[in-house]
Amino acid sequence: MKALQIAASGMAAQQMRVDVVSNNLANMSTTAYNARRAEFADLHYEQVARPGTISAEDGSMLPTGVQMGMGVRPAAVSIVLSQGTLSQTGGDLDLAIEGRGYLEVTLPSGGSAYTRDGGLKRTADGLIVTSEGHEVAPGITIPADARSLTINAQGEVYAYFVNQVQPQLIGQITLAGFTNEKGLEAIGGNLYLETAASGPAQTGTPGEDGLGTLRQGYLEESSIDAVREVTELIKAQRGYELNAKVITAADQMLAATTQVR
């Protein structure tokens, strides 16, 4: 009897589904977080009688055959790409990306990572960094005597100084786009790495080549839909219970078999 193994694979799949939903709900307040969705595929099939096989009884062809499924397996946990609501903060280094694109940051190893978390900070030396202290490419330093800062939709960074009416351009923030954003590797800390599946980063000016624009004084909120996540949780729970009932039924059938005299 294969029902035990099949139902066990179903329970494992629903457990994974619950894990994904719980991670989504845990990140309801994470800046620029996108929901994840667990995707599944059926396992290989036991071909008891292949479709199109010639019947030995009368020489006719079987129209469908007998194919016994062996259960379910995880196929992917993909990102649901959607724009989160923009929340006004008023911070001069808070940036929300309206549309496609990621900020490029430099990791301690020297490699590049990408994020949509625009809650930026400045170091004691005036360097613009993320909340985790990673330098934002291409590396912009705010002068110590700057009294205020303005970042326009195209990523141009202007500083205002005492006794100067006109602002001074001190840098240009760029965005990176990818052919397949779902192929990025999440490493935590709101950071992603480029992979062979995502394709190489295509860096450009905000508002050009299909990239989004920047909005100063705003942050992108998590795109989690709490109602949908709770619905997914209920469905996963019921699926787990049904698979558990199949195991119970299979166990009872095996018990009945052992009692046959």
Show the CA angle centred on residue 36, arms to residues 210 and 178, nearest 5°: 25
Identify whether residues 68 and 150 lie together within a single domain: no
Identify whether residues 50 and 161 lie together within a single domain: no
pLDDT by 10s per residue, the chain, length 261: 788 899 999 999 999 999 999 999 999 999 999 999 999 998 888 887 777 777 766 777 777 778 888 899 999 999 998 899 999 998 899 999 999 999 999 999 989 999 999 999 999 999 999 999 999 988 899 998 888 899 999 999 999 998 888 899 999 999 999 999 999 999 999 999 999 999 999 999 999 989 999 999 999 999 999 999 999 999 999 999 999 999 999 888 888 888 876
pTM: 0.83
Identify whether residues 211 and 153 lie together within a single domain: yes
Identify whether residues 124 and 61 lie together within a single domain: no
Identify whether residues 39 and 110 lie together within a single domain: no
Identify whether residues 71 and 164 lie together within a single domain: no
Give phi and psi for 182, each to the nearest 5: -70, -15
Identify whether residues 197 and 147 lie together within a single domain: yes
pLDDT of residue 56: 62
Phi-psi region at 183: left, alpha or beta (left = phi > 0; alpha = psi -120 to 50): alpha
pLDDT of residue 45: 81
Identify whether residues 201 and 101 lie together within a single domain: yes
Contacts of 33 (CB under 8 A, 6+ apart): 27, 84, 190, 222, 223, 224
Identify whether residues 148 and 100 lie together within a single domain: yes
Identify whether residues 121 and 245 lie together within a single domain: no
Identify whether residues 186 and 62 lie together within a single domain: no
Count up the domains in the chain and report the number: 2
pLDDT of residue 258: 82
Whole-angstrom CA distances from 18 to 13, 52, 111, 187, 239 are 9, 40, 34, 21, 11
9 is in which domain, residue-wise? 3-81+224-258
Identify whether residues 188 and 239 lie together within a single domain: no
